[in-house]
Amino acid sequence: MADKILLANWKMNFVEPKAYFDAFADALGESSLEGVQVGFAVPYTMLASVYAHASSSYTVYAQNVHERESGAFTGEISWPLLESLSISGSLIGHSERRQYFQETDAQVAKKLETTLKRGHQAVVCIGETQAQRERGETFSVLTTQLTPLLPFLSEDANCLLAYEPVWAIGTGLSATSEQAQEVHGWIQDFLQANGKLRGGIPLLYGGSANGGNLEALLRQPDIDGALVGGASLQPLDFAKMALIACSC
Ligand code: PEP
């Protein structure tokens, strides 16, 4: 496993892959990203092109995958349909999927199970809303989200968890490094209390991470990387973040 992990989430935005990766490589110059796993979660229609233009040392992810392998699920995409595309894995249970497409905790667990069974990496997103945080429900919400995942989270499971407080996503209002560490430490405690190896599952932070706050976040003991939306759309910004991750 890399020392730090930096995953881009391009959401439903068009990015021209060749121009992006040319500019990304120019911005890195001679610098090596050794010790950092850099990956890109992109729209389905861009997976092949991103794979073709990205350096072979970067990983490519879908942003969602159906829990079943085939069937009458119009508009959905399954692992057997993605497997011709040389991708590493998929985001699962992003808060936008939960919020706008009513994905449930049980469905997220099923997607995790299918993803691991098919031999791919799962990046499972969890996090509380602003209202839940204000009501003091952060840890009970996380308990509810994490509990159905537990049967699949063995220490050798090809899985990352991303703590993404919903109030920080796309708002420019990142959690402070102390707030994020408090929750990441709690997640590791929760996993350990449930028989998992502490630190066995890498934990990413997501929510308005950018070149200005990334270093403080990554210097926290239980933050293994970041999932980055808005700031990953500009190759120069994201290259700067990759270099910061390298130095942490
Ligand atoms: C995300 O979409 O997972 C995300 C973290 O977005 P942003 O960085 O824009 O908050």
> Could you give the CA distance from residue 239 to residue 227 in angstroms, rounded to a whole number?
14
Is 164 assigned a catalytic role? yes
What's the pTM? 0.95
Bridge partners (DSSP) listed for residue 226: 6, 205
Q: With a cut of 60, say whether residue 69 has pLDDT above it.
A: yes
Helix, strand, coil fractions of the chain, as percent rounded to 5? 45, 15, 40
Closest protein CA for atom 6 of ligand 1 = 229
In this prediction, residues 229-244 reach a mean pLDDT of: 97
Q: Where are the domains of the chain?
A: 4-247
Is 67 assigned a catalytic role? no
- What is the amino acid identity at position 193? A
- Ligand 1 atom having least distance to the Cα of 94: 3
Q: With a cut of 90, say whether residue 130 has pLDDT above it.
A: yes
Q: State in Å: Cα 230 to ligand 1 middle.
A: 6
Bridge partners (DSSP) listed for residue 92: 124
State both tokens at 137: 């429900």
Q: With a cut of 90, say whether residue 86 has pLDDT above it.
A: no
Long-range Cβ contact pairs of 105-113 (< 8 A, separation 24 or more)? 105/144, 105/145, 105/147, 105/148, 106/148, 107/67, 108/145, 108/148, 108/149, 109/148, 109/149, 109/151, 109/152, 110/67, 111/65, 111/66, 111/67, 112/149, 112/152, 112/159, 113/67, 113/152
In this prediction, residues 30-45 reach a mean pLDDT of: 94
What class, spelled out in words, does domain 4-247 have in CATH?
alpha beta
* Confidence (pLDDT) at 155: 81
Q: With a cut of 90, say whether residue 1 has pLDDT above it.
A: no
Long-range Cβ contact pairs of 147-150 (< 8 A, separation 24 or more)? 147/105, 148/105, 148/106, 148/108, 148/109, 149/108, 149/109, 149/112, 149/124, 150/194, 150/196
Closest protein CA for atom 1 of ligand 1 = 229
Q: Which of 66, 94, 120, 184 is catalytic?
A: 94
In this prediction, residues 144-163 reach a mean pLDDT of: 95
Q: Predicted confidence band at 2 (pLDDT cuts at 50, 70, 90)? A: low
Decide: residue 71, CB within 10 A, 0-12 exposed, 13-18 middle, 19+ buried. exposed
